[in-house]
Amino acid sequence: MTLRDLGSIGELVAAIATVATLAYLAVQIRQNTTSVRAATFRSYSESALTFLSSLYQDPKLTELWLRGREDLTHLDEAERTRLSLVLVAQFRIFENA
């Protein structure tokens, strides 16, 4: 076996190792992507539940939400501001989703 033959065998082994490494990395990236998506969905769900719980745990906020949904002109400045902040928080949750 000549030095050239050994070099060819070495190149073949290197090519096979490179393909195997790329396949392994593809599997790892797919698993990582799945994990990141699950974590993102879990974070979104927690944010949405926190927002909703603030609405049903605070009767004044629930009433404000209902009155604001019907007609904003019947709210005073402080109520409109509070409702606007609640709506911005809700928008940010949906935006992050």
Which amino acid, residue 58?
Answer: D
The answer to whether residue 69 scores a pLDDT higher than 80 is yes
Rounded average pLDDT over 85-94: 87
pLDDT value at position 65?
A: 87
> Tokens 């992507």 appear where?
33
Higher pLDDT, 54 or 20: 20
Please state, in angstroms and rounded to a whole number, the distance separating the CA atoms of residues 15 and 10: 9
pLDDT value at position 28?
A: 96
pLDDT digits (tens, 9 = 90+) for 14-48: 999 999 999 999 999 999 999 999 998 898 888 88
The number of C-alpha atoms within 13 Å of 30 and in the hemisphere containing its C-beta is 6
Please state the length of the chain: 97
Total structural domains within the chain: 1
Range of the domain at 80: 3-96
Token output for 48: 């949405």
pLDDT value at position 13?
A: 93
The answer to whether residue 57 scores a pLDDT higher than 80 is yes
Mean pLDDT rounded to a whole number for the chain: 89
Rounded average pLDDT over 61-77: 88
> Tokens 């911005």 appear where?
88
